[in-house]
Amino acid sequence: MVKKSLSFFPLHCCFLLVSLTVFAQTAVYKSNFVFKDFQVQEPYGSLLISGNKILFNAGNYKIYAIAKDSLKPIWETDIVSKSNAPPYLHKNTFIYSNYEKGTTTIAQYDLDTGEIIKNLSLKTINSKPYFANNTMYCTAVTDGGKLVAYHLEDNKIIWQKNIGQGVDFQPAYLKDKIIANAEDDNWFAIDYNGNFLETRSKKRTSIDSTQFFVRNYKFLTHDGREITQDFLTKNQLANAEYQTRTSDSHTFILAENQLLVLGNNRKKVLQLDLETAFPTDNFAYDAYSSILETRTESAWFCYQNYLIHYDFAKKKLLRKIDLTRWNPHQVELDNRTIWLISKNDGLLYGLDFEPDQKTADFIKAKAEMQREIHNPKPPDKKRIEAAKAAEEKFKNKNN
């Protein structure tokens, strides 16, 4: 059920000491949604930013859409269960779970209203999908773990391949092929029409009597290099839980106590001991950890309740923001706004911090470009091009 909602309230200002410089940081928003059975020991929730909307998958069996400009909820819709999985965007819709006639299924929702458009013939989606026109490629559960090509407009499966427990691993969606997991660190290549491809390996595996070539490794870098167990062992990551993120030029590996940045051909750009670089008296094993944003020479990440901006090219700390007060469950960056879900109460907070000059200039240039693009008056192409050039200039400076 979808409801229109208008309630919100602001908070008073607070100030935090950031690194060696004091930056003003203001909590500008706190949701006041009701959580009757919230448990600090087991918080749930996720965030997704889409244009002027914040989608807040809350721990009270609801998803809320909140307008960033007015900070007012636009709609809310009931969902089947609590989850840390985010909705997945596709054009002006999003994909998420639904409960229909006693069965959990996946549904496509209208992003503007929160209403269900249609139910899909999938029980779960287990990794981030890839969309090409009206086709969704994903790993999903539908009579077992499958790699699926699903036509959203026709609402039917185009093709599917059994991959068993590989369903829980994120595929790599490349220009002309998909690299997916077939259990036990075995990865195979398949084209977008569902045809298995040969690899450089002579090793084969089979699922449901279908044989195909596989290679054994942990994951691929931004330039398609294999990261093996031996590589992780050599870099003190063999027994660590880690997460990865890639840009066009780098691969980032964030573990409990280190950040590893790789360039092309697995060249080590940075191996940062986080405990040494950012010591803390109250180390928390359950502290939120995530790579939030990557740039040409820097990265934003969360470590031990700190939001850190680090220049990995110059090996220099740019910004360190203490989020301990909010004890984050998830964090998203949106220019100068920090959106987070707090483990303390499960609520959504918006924090506004005064950026350094480079970041402020970058935000100003980007805002000017957006104003020109969305200006109802006849567009001034020269001003738009000038704003784009200014944004690129400040972006390069910031990197």
Percent of the chain at pLDDT > 90 equals: 63
Please write the tens of the pLDDT for every residue from 49-69. Answer: 999 999 999 988 899 999 998
> Which pLDDT value is given to residue 240?
84
Rounded to whole angstroms, how far apart are CA atoms 138 and 147? 6
Q: Are the CB atoms for 183 and 168 separated by under 8 Å?
A: no
Q: Are the CB atoms for 40 and 27 separated by under 8 Å?
A: no
What is the average pLDDT value for the chain, to the nearest integer? 86
Written out in words, the top-level CATH class of the domain with range 227-322 is: mainly beta
- Buried b / exposed e along 297-328 (16+ C-beta atoms within 10 A): bbbbbbbbbbbbbbbbeeeeebbbbebeebbb
> Which pLDDT value is given to residue 390?
67
Q: Does domain 1-120+340-354 have CATH number 3.40.50.12780?
A: no
Going from N- to C-terminal start, the domains of the chain cover 1-120+340-354, 123-216, 227-322, 357-399
Closest by CA position to 111, among listed 180, 51, 201, 167: 51
On the question of pLDDT at 10 being above 50, the answer is no
3-class secondary structure, 234: helix
Domains 123-216 and 227-322 fall in the same CATH topology: yes
Q: Which of 102 and 71 is assigned the larger pLDDT? A: 71
Percent of the chain at pLDDT > 70 equals: 81
On the question of pLDDT at 1 being above 60, the answer is no
Written out in words, the top-level CATH class of the domain with range 123-216 is: mainly beta
Residue ranges of the alpha helices (H) in 336-376? 357-373
Q: Which two structure tokens, joined as six digits, stand for 139?
A: 């790993």
> Which pLDDT value is given to residue 381?
67
Signed CA dihedral, 231, 233, 236, 239: sign only? positive
Signed CA dihedral, 344, 253, 256, 82: sign only? positive
pLDDT (average), residues 358-362: 63
| Per-residue pLDDT band at 22 (split at 50, 70, 90) | very low
Q: Which two structure tokens, joined as six digits, stand for 64?
A: 């809320």
Please write the tens of the pLDDT for every residue from 101-117. Answer: 778 899 999 999 999 99
pLDDT (average), residues 357-361: 63
> Which pLDDT value is given to residue 341?
95
- The β-bridge partners of 301 are 291, 308
On the question of pLDDT at 225 being above 70, the answer is yes
Q: Which of 50 and 13 is assigned the larger pLDDT? A: 50
> Which pLDDT value is given to residue 12?
33
Q: Which of 128-137, 215-224, 317-326, 387-396 has the lowest mean pLDDT?
A: 387-396
> Which pLDDT value is given to residue 205?
83
Rank 46-50, 98-102, 199-203, 386-390 by mean pLDDT and report only the highest: 46-50
On the question of pLDDT at 218 being above 70, the answer is yes
Rounded to whole angstroms, how far apart are CA atoms 55 and 230? 40
